[in-house]
Chain A
Amino acid sequence: MQGAIDSTTAAAANGHAVEAHEEHQDLRVLGLITFLASEFLMFAGFFAVFLVFRGSNAEWPPKETEVELLLPAVNTLILVSSSWVINLGTKAIKKNDLAGMRKWFGITVAMGAVFLVGQVYEYMNLGYGLRTNLFSNCFYLTTGFHGAHVFIGLVLILGVLWRSRRADHYSSLAHTGPEMAEIYWHFVDVVWIVLFSLIYLLTLIK
C-alpha cells in the first residue's frame, strides 16, 4: 500500500507543477470522487430494479416479509452522525491536531462497527432470508452490498489510524489519506440515506 501512495504522489507532484498556484490540489481526491460517482451508479442500478419491482407488484413488500423499522432508524442516526464525527477528525488534522484526529476517527470506527453489528442483528431477526421472495432478494442484495461498502470504509479508516501511529505521517499539510477516507465515508452515508428512504421509509406509504 505504501508503494501505491508513493507512486501516485509522484504523479500528483506533476499535477502540482501544472497548477502550482492551487493549494492542496491533490489528484487522488479528484480520482476518488470520479470513481465514487461511477460506483454510485451501480447502486442506482440496484435501486432502479427495486423501484421497478415495487411498481409492478401489488403487494410490496409482501405480507410475510415486512421490514423492521426501529432498529434501522437508530442505525441510520448512528451512520449519519458518524459522517459528522469523521469530519471533526479531518478538521483536527488540518489544524495539526493528530490526537484529535485519532480520537474522532476512532469514534467513527466504533460507530461504523455498531452499524454493521446492528445490520447483522436485523438480518438474524427478520425471519426471512435472501431467497424467500423477490422483495427479500432485493432487500438482502442491496443492504448487503451497502454493508460491504461500510466494511471497506472501516478498513480505510483503520488504515489511516494505523499510519497515524507515526507522529509525522499526517499533518496540516499532508492529510490526503484522512480526507479520502472521509469522502468515502460520506459516500457510504449518502448511499444509505437513499437506500433507507427507498427500502424502509417507502414501505410506510402504501
Chain B
Amino acid sequence: MFKPFNKTRFMAQAEVSIKPTEDQGGHGHPDKWKWYDYFTFNVDHKVIGIQYLVTSFLFYLVGGFMAVLMRTELATPDSDFLSPELYNAFLTNHGTIMIFLWIVPAAIGGFGNFLIPLMIGARDMAFPKLNAIAFWLNPPAGALLAASFFFGGGAQSGWTSYPPLSEITANLPQTLWCLALIMVGTSSILGSVNFLVTIWKMRVPSMKWDQMPLFCWAMVATSILALFATPVLAAAMVLLLFDINFGTSFFKPDAGGNVVVYQHLFWFYSHPAVYLMILPIFGIMSEVIPVHARKPIFGYKAIAYSSLTICLVGLFVWVHHMFTSGTAPWMRIFFTISTLIVAVPTGVKIFSWVATLWGGKIRYTTAMLFAVGLLSMFVFGGLSGVTLGAAPFDIHVHDTYYVVGHFHYVLFGGSVFGIYSGVYHWFPKITGRMLNETLGKVHFVLTFIGTILTFTPMHQLGMQGMPRRVAMYDPQFADLNQLVTVGAYILAVSVIPFYFNVLWSWRSGKEAGPNPWNALTMEWTTDSPPIIENWEVLPVLTHGPYEYGMDKAVQVGPAGEPTEATQV
C-alpha cells in the first residue's frame, strides 16, 4: 500500500508553533502523488476526492447523453427515434446515474473528501481505508448499470422503481439495478461515518464548533441524513430483490403484499436524498459567496443550524411524494404542513446569502456567477416545491411534467450549478492552476440560458396535463416540447467549454499559488495542490472563517510568514 512516510511522525509536532523553523520541517518534504496513483486504491483523502469528482463528471456525460437522446425522441409527438423500451431504459438510467453516480458522489464524495480535512486542519479523514473502499464501490455500481443494458436492455421502471412495474418488467436488469443501488448506498453510509467522526474529532484544537466553515456544518447534516435514511433504501432494495428473484410477495398485491409499503420505504430514503443532494451545495454556497463578495457571511449560526433543522424536518416529509397513493386525509394534512415547514430553514439560508451579497464588493468570477445563478434558480424551484407540497395542488399535477420541471430546477439549477461553482472556486486548490475565466463565462451564460429554456416550459406542459415518463405525447404539446429540446441541446453544448477548460487548464492553466481568491478558510493556507499530508505543521486558527473586511485578519501562509489576507 501507499505509505510514503510515517503519519504519526508528524503528529508529534502538531500545533507546535505558528512559524515552523527549518528543523521542524526537517523531515523532508513528502513527494507529490504521481498521475497513476489516482487510478489505484489510494487512501489519501485528496486523491479520493479527486477520484470521486472525476468519476462523477464522467457519469455526468453518460447521463447527459441519455438525456439528449430522450429529448431528441420528444422533439416530435410520435415514438420515432428510440424504441419505447429503450426510451424507458434511458429514462431509468438517466435518473439513476444523475442522482447516484453524479450529484451524490460529486457533491458529497468529491467536495466532502477533498475539503473537509483541509478545512478543519486534519491530515486525513478518520478512516482512510474505509474511505477508499467507499469510493471503489462506485465504479462497479456503474458497471452493473451498464451491464443491465447488455443483459436484457436496461431496467424499465424509472429511478423510483415502483412495484408492480419493477417486478414484472426486465427482471435481470432490475436485479442489477437493485444491486447497484445497494452498492452506492453502502458507499454513502461508509462515507458518512467517516465525515461525522472526522468533523467531530479531528478538528485542530484551536477550532471550536462555531468556527468551523459552514461547508462542514452542511456535511454534518448531510451525513446524519445519509446515515438514517440510506439503510431504509437498502431494506427496500433487498425486499424488491427477493420479490423478483426468490418468490416472496412483499409487494405483490395478489399474494397479500402491498405496493404502497415499497413507496414508503423508498421515499423515506429518497426525500432525504434530495437534501443529500442540496445540503452540500448549500455548504458550497456559504463558502463561495463571502469570499467573492468580500464580506463576512450573514447569520453564521442561522445557516449552520438551519442545515440541522432541514436534516431533522426532512426526515418527516416523505409522504408528499405519495399524496395520490391512496393516502389517508390526515396524512395529507400532516405531510403538507411538514413539507411547508422545510421551506422555512431553506428560506433562512437564501436570505442570509442575499444579505451577505448586500453591500459587498462583489467579484464577478465564474464561481460567483454560478452561485448567484443558483440563488435565482433555486428560489424558483423551491417555490414550485412549495406548490407541490400543498396536497390539493399536487393531486392535479402529480406525475406530470410540472414535477419534472420542479425537480430539475432544484437539481440542475441548484445542485449542478453549485457543483460548477465549487469547481471554479476550488479548482486552483485541487490542481494548482486557475481555470480560464473567459471560457468559464461562456460556460455560465450557455448553462443559464439552457436551463431556463429547458426546464421552465415543463411547468406549463405539466399544468396542461402532459404526463411524465412517456416517449410519445399528444400533438397539442409539440411546440413547448420543441422549445425544451432546443434548451436541452444548448445545455449539451454548454458542457463543451467546461470540459475543455478543465482539461486544458489542468495542464497549462495559470499557476494559482496557495490562495488566489484571498480566502480565509484553512484549505487556503497550504500549497496548491496541497502536499501529501496537507501541512508541514498543522495551522493554528487565528481568526474566524469569514472575517473579510476586518483589518486584523492576518493569515498564516504556507511557509509560516503572515500574509495580508484581506483586501478591502
Q: A residues engaging B (CB < 8 A)? A: 3-4, 7-8, 10-19, 25, 27-28, 30-31, 34-35, 37-46, 48-49, 52-53, 56-57, 130-131, 133-134, 137-138, 141, 145
**A8-B130, A11-B126, A130-B246 given; A30·B197 CB < 8 A:** yes
| Docked complex Cα distance between A75 and B238 (Å) | 26
Give the chain A neighbours of B250 by CB distance below 8 A. Answer: 49, 134, 137-138
Tell whether, in the assembled complex, residue B247 and residue A131 are in contact, meaning their CB atoms are under 8 Å apart: yes
Are A13 and B204 in contact, with the CB atoms below 8 A? no
B129 at the interface (CB under 8 A from A): yes
Find the B residue at minimum CB distance from A56.
B258
| B256, A133: Cβ atoms closer than 8 Å | yes
| Residue numbers in B under 8 Å from A53 (CB-CB) | 256, 258, 261
- Complex contact A11–B239 (CB within 8 A): no
Number of interface residues of B (CB under 8 A): 54
Are B127 and A34 in contact (CB-based, < 8 A)?
A: no
Given contacts A18-B205, A42-B232, A141-B239, contact A7 B43 (CB under 8 A): yes
30 A-B pairs with CB atoms under 8 Å apart are: A3-B129, A8-B129, A8-B130, A10-B7, A11-B124, A12-B126, A14-B122, A15-B202, A17-B11, A27-B127, A27-B197, A27-B202, A31-B193, A31-B197, A38-B192, A40-B231, A41-B227, A41-B228, A41-B231, A42-B231, A42-B235, A45-B236, A49-B239, A49-B250, A49-B261, A131-B246, A134-B255, A134-B257, A137-B248, A145-B238
For residue B458, CB closer than 8 A to chain A, the reply is no
Interface presence of B234 (CB below 8 A):
yes
- Answer whether residue B94 sits at the interface, using C-beta atoms and an 8 A cutoff: no
List the B side residues contacting A57 at CB < 8 Å. Answer: 256
- Assess whether B123 is interfacial by the CB under 8 Å rule: yes
B247–A14 contact, CB under 8 A? no
**Residue in A18, A34, A48, A56 whose beta carbon sits within 8 Å of that of B193 in the complex:** A34
Contact present for B193 and A19 (CB under 8 Å):
no
Complex-state Cα separation, A3 to B197, whole angstroms:
20
Q: A38-B230, A137-B248 are in contact. Are A8 and B127 (CB under 8 A)?
A: yes
Chain A residues within an 8 Å CB radius of B161: none
Q: How far is the CA of A7 from the CA of B3 in the complex (A)?
A: 9
- Closest Cβ of chain B: how far from A141's Cβ, in Å? 6
| A137 contact from B7, B11, B230, B242, Cβ within 8 A | B242
CA distance A134 to B229 in the complex (A): 25
Contact A38 B193 (CB under 8 A): yes
Q: Do B129 and A19 touch across chains, with their CB atoms under 8 A apart?
A: no
Q: Which chain B residues have a beta carbon within 8 Å of chain A's beta carbons?
A: 1, 7-8, 11, 14-15, 43, 122-130, 189-190, 192-194, 196-197, 200-205, 227-232, 234-236, 238-239, 242, 246-250, 255-258, 261, 264-265, 268
Closest-CB distance, A12 to chain B (whole angstroms):
8
Main secondary structure of the interface of B (DSSP, over half): helix
- Known contacts A14-B11, A15-B201; A131/B258 CB under 8 A: no
Do B8 and A35 have beta carbons less than 8 Å apart?
A: no
Q: Which of B130, B202, B231 contacts A18 (CB 8 A)?
A: B202
Beyond the given pairs A19-B201, A19-B205, A44-B231, 7 more chain A to chain B contacts, judged by CB atoms under 8 angstroms and listed by A's residue number, are: A8-B130, A10-B128, A31-B194, A35-B189, A38-B193, A45-B232, A52-B258
A-B contact count (CB 8 A): 141
Please report the C-alpha to C-alpha distance between residue A182 and residue B46 in the assembled complex, in whole angstroms.
Answer: 33
B466 CB → nearest A CB, Å:
34
Residues of chain B within 8 A (CB-CB) of A27 are 126-127, 197, 201-202
* A149 to B191 alpha-carbon distance, docked (Å): 21
Q: CA A137 – CA B250 in complex, angstroms?
A: 7
Question: Chain A nearest CB: distance from B48 CB in Å?
Answer: 13
Most buried by B among A8, A16, A40: A8
Is A34 touching B196 in the complex (CB atoms < 8 A)? Answer: yes
Q: How far is the CB of A10 from chain B (nearest CB, A)?
A: 4
Given A4-B129, A15-B126, the answer on whether A34 and B232 have CB atoms closer than 8 Å is no
Report the bound CA distance from A96 to B128 in whole Å.
30
Instruction: Tell me the complex Cα distance, A46–B236, Å.
Output: 8
Whole-angstrom CA separation of A28 from B125 in the bound complex: 12
Chain B residues with CB below 8 A from A48, complex form? 264-265
Which residues on B sit within 8 Å (CB–CB) of A130?
A: 246-248
CB atoms of B8 and A10 under 8 A apart: yes
Q: How far is the CB of A195 from chain B (nearest CB, A)?
A: 14
B334: shortest Cβ distance to chain A, in Å?
A: 17
A11 adjacent to B11 (CB under 8 Å): no
Q: Which residue of B lies closest to A8 (CB)?
A: B127
Smallest Cβ distance from B408 to chain A, in angstroms?
29
Closest Cβ neighbor of B8 among chain A residues? A13
Partner of A39, one of B192, B203, B231, B246: B231
Judge whether A30 and B261 touch: CB under 8 Å.
Answer: no
CB contacts (< 8 Å) of A18 on chain B: these are 201-205
* Contact assessment for A44 and B232 in the assembled complex, using a CB-CB cutoff below 8 Å: yes
Whether A17 lies near B1 (C-beta < 8 A) is no
Smallest beta-carbon distance A201→chain B, Å? 22
The chain B residue sitting closest to A28, CB to CB, is: B127
A-B CB proximity, top 8 nearest: A45-B235, A42-B231, A137-B248, A41-B231, A10-B7, A131-B247, A38-B227, A134-B256
A11 touches which of B15, B125, B242 (Cβ 8 Å): B125
Interface centre among A17, A42, A138 (most CB of B within 10 A): A17
B7, A13: Cβ atoms closer than 8 Å: yes
